[in-house]
Structure 1
Amino acid sequence: MPSSAPGMVTARQIAESLGVAVSTVGRALADDPRISARTKALVREAAARLGYVENLPARMMRGGASRLIGLMLPDIRNSFYATIADAMSRCCDAAGYQLVISIADDPAVEARHTRELASARVAGIVIVPTAEPAPETRAILARFPHVQLLRRVAGLAPVWFGIDDRECLRAGTTALIARGHRRIAYVGGETRYSTGAARLAGFRQAVAEAGLDPVLATEHLGPPADTRFGADALRSVLEAELPPSAIVTGAVQLTSAVLGALAASRSPLARQIAIAAFGDEPVFGWWPGKLVAMAMPVEELAQSCGNWLIERLRTGAPLEEHAYLATTKLSFRLSGGR
């Protein structure tokens, strides 16, 4: 048995506590059929009592499978990604796996974290990729079962689970237009991300379908998780020569930033502007103004993604091309009148 780190209980210590051979302990922990059920139970009880932690590389060398699944997220500061992590964790736990969460929204950090997950011998990876993953990231992921979540990048896994971002923003913008708004500003994420490009396309589609003058549909694009950009965009909207009567947001963090900046603004227009907000965060409930919240089935999406990957890991089936669009539960929460 490989030696353990200082302070960790070894298989030899378990063997000594039971008066059996070290090889017996190793075989019992590996569920070897040559070891009796009674001995396996005694070994596992002793291992639990002493706080034994199995050496993962050693177990895999004996033919054991990894029970770790990596989840790579760009951010976890809002309940959108937190809900994904929670749902995925429960999904993995129910199937006997453990979720390992990594936060990376920079190609260099993404590459390093991917390398560390591979070093830990994860069974699979669910990734919300950066816009341009490094060659190292692509090469490593090519050797591991992996699924793209929300964002979609060419050259990575052909398996993708996401939201119909275009339809979501088209529906949210149309809801404002139906309430009589004609001057509408869009504050959304950069189009270098697949999600940002699709959401902007949905906004433009709604404007075109309604026959609105595109000059009155202003666009403000920036980092989707940068609250400073969201606040700056809001100030530009309010200071425009012909301010809009409504704003559509294209990211959860930008929604928070816009609402916060509106609340802090001294402009008489701030409380009159209607909002079509991407996401339906619990914290948005404080806003007393006009709000249409675009709620996505995030938990369902994460569970579907996790279950799909785990089933492929369990059966050994190849990860053939698959795309899942979560659209069935798009809903709106209305407040503040028109």
Structure 2
Amino acid sequence: MAFVTIRDIAQEAGVSVTAVSQILHDKGRFSEQTRELVRQTAERLGYVPDQRARAMRSASTQTVGLLVPDLRNQYFADMVSSMEEELYRRGFTTLIGSYGERVDRQDAFLRSLLGQRIDGAIVVPQGGLSQGLQLLIERKLPLVFVDRLVPGADNVPFVVSDPRPGLEEALDQLAKLGHRVIGFVAHSALGSFSVNERAKAFSAAIRERIPSGTGVVVDCNSTVESRSSALERLHNAGVTAIICAYSPDAITMLGLLQERGIAIGDAVSLVSFDDIAAFRLMIPQVSVISQQADEMGRLGVEMLIRRIASGTEAAAHTHYVPTILHMRGSCGIAVA
């Protein structure tokens, strides 16, 4: 069952609904044995208080939860906007949350969503199969994961981008510009299966697209110091072009390159995943590998609506959206 009510607890414990309600609110005169029985039954059944006091758990609330890592990241903000607009068009309201790439905050929001008696949820998950994600799956809440794969969640549909098409196109274009030593900035600390897949795709693609070329993969975390160190390693390796798997890394590195007087698009070329508005406002504009966030959001909504209508019985499968390259001024002819 997606939601446990006090009626379920009363039936399981063999007491009245009134007794359960009063005990859970620390009211009434009951023996400690009865109180303990009700509390243990509620915990065993996974009861979550209904924060909006919806009377019928089977009734549709026309409300969907949306949870993303960071709404300050323009990529996720664009995705949420796409999903919210599509859901509104279909008559749904949304509860939107952001967890700052922290699993504990993600899981806390997911538990809160269950208390809201929502019809379903679309989640950009963090890391692996956390307790909060497992809870939603166990309750059979209609659920779709977008942008990031979660190993082991085989009964949940996914909408994710395929990094290979965009990466292959980027490498082809960089090769035409004379680049042979190309760096890739990974971000394993993020704990994102999909972001990590981009590094694997790069290593495979450069061998296929530029057989005579060299791929230099470096890793960093979200600190300026780590990103600066990664950039230094790329410089020492003699790279003439850089591809970033994570747009916040690219933004920091662009600033570091400018501080060092390295002309972007001339002395070094740069491409980043995530087609965010900031990249189009920079001089030069930044070349991007777009995951087509709008399309992923629209498909995520379609898949969720189908699962809501079928009671989560619709087949769970992974839908891959191809990435596409947008070449801009941050890429130029390789300096000999």
Q: Judge same fold: TM > 0.5, yes or no.
A: yes
What's the counterpart of residue 200 of structure 2? 201
What's the counterpart of residue 211 of structure 2? 211
Quote how far apart the aligned CAs of 1:273 are: 0.2
Q: 1:58 to 1:75 in 2, by over 3 A?
A: closer
Q: Which amino acid aligns with 1:117?
A: L
SS across alignment from 2:53: helix
What's the counterpart of residue 299 of structure 1? 294
Higher relative contact order (CA closer than 8 Å, sequence separation 6+): 2
Q: 1:137 to 1:291 in 2, by over 3 A?
A: closer
What's the counterpart of residue 70 of structure 2? 75
Conserved 8 A contact 1:147-1:159: yes
Conserved 8 A contact 2:264-2:270: no
Q: 1:321 to 1:138 in 2, by over 3 A?
A: same
SS across alignment from 1:77: coil
What's the counterpart of residue 160 of structure 1? 158
Aligned with 2:314 (options 319, 322, 327): 319
Quote how far apart the aligned CAs of 1:229 are: 3.7
Quote how far apart the aligned CAs of 1:227 are: 5.8
TM-score (norm 1): 0.73
Hey, what's the Cα distance between the residues in 1 that align with 2:232 and 2:204? 25
Q: Which amino acid aligns with 1:334?
A: R
Aligned with 1:150 (options 144, 147, 150): 147
Hey, what's the Cα distance between the residues in 2 that align with 1:77 and 1:188? 21
What's the counterpart of residue 4 of structure 2? none
Hey, what's the Cα distance between the residues in 2 that align with 1:295 and 1:248? 13
Hey, what's the Cα distance between the residues in 2 that align with 1:82 and 1:248? 22
1:230 aligns to 2:227 (yes or no): yes
Conserved 8 A contact 1:188-1:249: yes
Q: Note the aligned Cα RMSD (angstroms).
A: 2.6
SS across alignment from 1:57: coil
Conserved 8 A contact 2:306-2:314: no
Q: 1:138 to 1:217 in 2, by over 3 A?
A: same
Conserved 8 A contact 1:168-1:202: no
Hey, what's the Cα distance between the residues in 2 that align with 1:283 and 1:91? 24
TM-score (norm 2): 0.74
Hey, what's the Cα distance between the residues in 2 that align with 1:125 and 1:257? 32
Quote how far apart the aligned CAs of 1:73 are: 1.0
Range moving further from structure 2, 183-192 or 81-90? 183-192
Aligned 1:29-48 pairs, distance under 5 A: none
Q: 1:265 to 1:306 in 2, by over 3 A?
A: same
Q: What percentage of aligned pairs have identical amino acids?
A: 19
Hey, what's the Cα distance between the residues in 2 that align with 1:57 and 1:111? 22
1:220 aligns to 2:218 (yes or no): yes
Aligned 1:1-338 pairs, distance under 5 A: 56-60=52-56, 63-104=58-99, 105-143=101-139, 144-156=141-153, 157-190=155-188, 192-209=191-208, 210-212=210-212, 216-223=214-221, 229-238=226-235, 240=236, 242-267=237-262, 272-289=267-284, 291-316=286-311, 318-327=313-322, 330-335=324-329, 337-338=332-333
Q: Which amino acid aligns with 1:199?
A: R
| Residues 66-100 of structure 1: CA deviation (Å, up to 9, x unaligned) | 22211121112222100111011111111121111
Hey, what's the Cα distance between the residues in 1 that align with 2:223 and 2:86? 30
Hey, what's the Cα distance between the residues in 2 that align with 1:286 and 1:95? 33
SS across alignment from 1:153: coil
Q: Which amino acid aligns with 1:276?
A: V
Size of the aligned set, in residue pairs, is: 277
